[in-house]
A and B are shown apart, each in its own frame.
Chain A
């Protein structure tokens, strides 16, 4: 297994896996974690590995961490895993635990996890940009056929969508994660990872934008949403469904997205050191406008209102919107119903509020931030929301 890549300014996993293995041999592992192996990989039944892997596609397996990269001390622990003193799953561990990957691809690994001492959920724009930059490099690298990126499931859809907008690639980029830790009973991680590599290695997965594959469903980054906190079948394309499946016989595609993405995105291929600040304001009965005022005082350039129903704000919010618009802040309306489009109605046009189509507010936020790097023209931003 060729586990390191030539460009390696990033920590490559083989070494850290070795360190863990050494730890195990020295008998210190029990202090770290009594159950440090993947539960849902049976001991017997490993397939014969083909000798000549030179003809197999080269897939880069990039770790941004997540539940799939987490361990627990006990295999019934599927909610309170990881944390201080519990070793994480290094990228090389996945490759070690799943030798069958060698039958479908030449997998090399790259590690883009946040440092272990950083609190969970603190991923920054800088972290995203580092990955985006690397994905853009890999897209240009003729020795690479596809990329799999692991990520925590909570914000995976918006991270994947950001890459869908900024990575100029024809090659497959497939996001994957798991609902249960690598060590969990009936853990979904191993099969999800195996299938994500299959999808990334598939010729049919080219030109479809950034994909997300878990539980055999192949979804588009733009349309996928996490719909359940703990159940395995959590990722769904709420409005428009999956575009294909990683089935036992083959990886199969039925649809392609018609919205602009990756190679066809006007935002792709650039380095963004930063993007204009955009925040989300939720709408509900008596939602106050002062939260929007506070955002504006804080210097945001755009606000996404996650409106009620077809896309409505409260009177107080509407007044705050008008105040903010005089300072040049751009507003986009999404709908908290999470299905169906916010339509571009004459009234919305008159109020100078961009309709967010059927994007979730966290995705509309990223699209608006990117749009604002180019323009503050209302019609141009509405065009962007109609096309992406």
Chain B
């Protein structure tokens, strides 16, 4: 009898505890969800449709949150919609709005972190851009999905849930901008989309992930030694546009015409993804017109090494950044300088 009473008391206490947990949203870490769109916010009319899923209405930020009441137990979440478009439509204007929005949010003392939803195709570019311009050591996590919101076994909800967990985690501070899909936490600088449709698409080919969002805990194994976020020299607070930089692919018998055309169209910088015989003369001619050239490599792994020959030609080597990330860094570099030597320093440090 006495035992039963004890049990009853325990029950009441447990209930009270549960209610107080629910009521204590104010004590939970404050995370803001910045939405830009992408597969994670896309619907198809049938649940087995895993491609060309733009026939249903887009998923709004409120729907994302309503779909995941579990988020209420791990963070005090607010939302800010930047756009609701596929990642192919993310442009400088949206990038700058996103970066400024995140900086404004993280500058608030009560803000714990930020999560960004993004289409996966150019997700790595936005993530690296943020890695270079976010002025805070608080966690910023970019998430996406490979299967639409409407699909069987959709990966989006768990990615979003884990993204919020990482953004709310103290251990995630100072790691730079992170990309989270499929339980893996990758550094924005090193991650790339590696596969067109499968869920394990994001990999850091050279260096691997820095941690994992496992069920028992968020766990980190690596710190990045490259400059990022609060240690970055780049500042977008007064920028309203970014310099035009494009990419030219190298292959057997590649023509120099795209290089000449891009510079004529106003490109201030060009990333050469691999080389071709015709490029050397085009580089020389267009450097005379003020264009800056960066040499990356299409193999997708390994470094373009520093060489005296490249330095003499005034061509900046991209280290192990891929072409699309080299473009992001070169654009920001060109907001500061057009001196290839100084830009090479930046490519060595970021």
Whose C-beta in chain A lies nearest to the C-beta of B207? A241
Question: Quick check: B306 and A223 within 8 Å, CB to CB?
Answer: no
Give Cα A242 to B221, complex, Å.
Answer: 12
Which one of B21-29, B99-107, B128-136, B212-220 is at the A interface?
A: B212-220
In the bound assembly, the distance between CA atoms of A341 and B185 in angstroms comes to 14
In the complex, the answer to whether A341 meets B214 with C-beta atoms within 8 Å is: yes
Given the known interface contacts A247-B305, A249-B306, A249-B307, the answer about A239 and B221 at a Cβ–Cβ threshold of 8 Å is yes
- One of A130-138, A255-263, A270-278, A322-330 contacting the partner: A255-263
Q: Is the interface of B mostly helix, strand, loop or mixed?
A: loop
Q: Is the CB of B216 within 8 A of A254?
A: no
- Report whether A259 and B221 are in contact in the complex, using a CB–CB cutoff of 8 Å: yes
Contact partners of A242 in chain B: CB under 8 A: 206-208
Min CB distance, B24 to chain A, in Å? Answer: 23
Cβ contact of B305, chosen from A237, A249, A253, cutoff 8 A:
A249
Cα separation A335 to B185 with both chains bound (whole Å): 21
CB-based contact A239/B208 at 8 Å: yes
**Contact: A254 with B305, CB < 8 Å?**
no
Residue of A nearest to B208 (CB): A241
B306-A254 in contact (CB<8A): no
A49 at interface (Cβ–Cβ under 8 A)?
no
- Contacting B at CB under 8 A, from A43-83, are none
Q: How far is it, in angstroms, between the C-alpha of A96 and the C-alpha of B204 when the chains are bound?
A: 40
Residue on A nearest B348 in the bound complex, by CB: A252
- Of B36-44, B72-80, B82-90, B223-231, the one with at least 4 CB within 8 A of chain A: B223-231
Is A30 among interface residues, defined by CB-CB distance under 8 A? no
Given A223-B221, A247-B303, A250-B306, the answer on whether A255 and B212 have CB atoms closer than 8 Å is: no
A240 touches B222 (CB 8 A): yes
Pick from B207, B214, B305, B307: contact of A255, CB below 8 A: B207
Minimum distance in angstroms from A209 CB to a CB of chain B:
12
Would you give the shortest CB distance from B62 to chain A, in whole angstroms?
33
Q: Is the CB of A341 within 8 A of B219?
A: yes
Residues of A near B210 (CB, < 8 A) are: 240, 255
A256 touches B303 (CB 8 A): no
A248, CB-defined interface residue at 8 Å: yes
* Per-residue interface assignment for chain B, residues 144 to 170, with 1 indicating a CB less than 8 Å from any chain A CB and 0 otherwise: 000000000000000000000000000
How would residues 72 to 114 of chain A score, 1 for a CB under 8 Å from any chain B CB and 0 otherwise?
0000000000000000000000000000000000000000000
Tell me if A37 is interfacial: C-beta within 8 Å of chain B.
no
- Taking the closest CB of chain A, its distance from the CB of B109, in whole angstroms, is 26
Task: Tell me the smallest distance from the CB of A154 to a CB of chain B, in Å.
Answer: 23
Does B190 interact with chain A (Cβ within 8 Å)?
A: yes
CB of B61 within 8 Å of the partner chain: no
With A252-B303, A254-B190 in contact, is A240–B221 under 8 Å at CB? yes
Q: Roughly how many angstroms separate A80 CA and B212 CA in the complex, as a whole number? A: 42
Q: A5: which B residues are within 8 A, CB to CB?
A: none
Measured CB to CB, the closest approach of chain A to B150, in angstroms, equals: 29
What are 26 A-B contacts with C-beta separation under 8 Å? Answer: A237-B208, A239-B208, A239-B209, A240-B208, A240-B210, A240-B221, A240-B222, A243-B207, A245-B303, A247-B303, A248-B305, A249-B305, A249-B307, A252-B303, A254-B206, A254-B225, A254-B320, A255-B224, A257-B221, A258-B221, A259-B221, A340-B212, A341-B214, A343-B214, A344-B216, A355-B216
Residues on A facing B (Cβ under 8 Å) = 223, 237, 239-243, 245, 247-250, 252-259, 340-341, 343-345, 355, 357
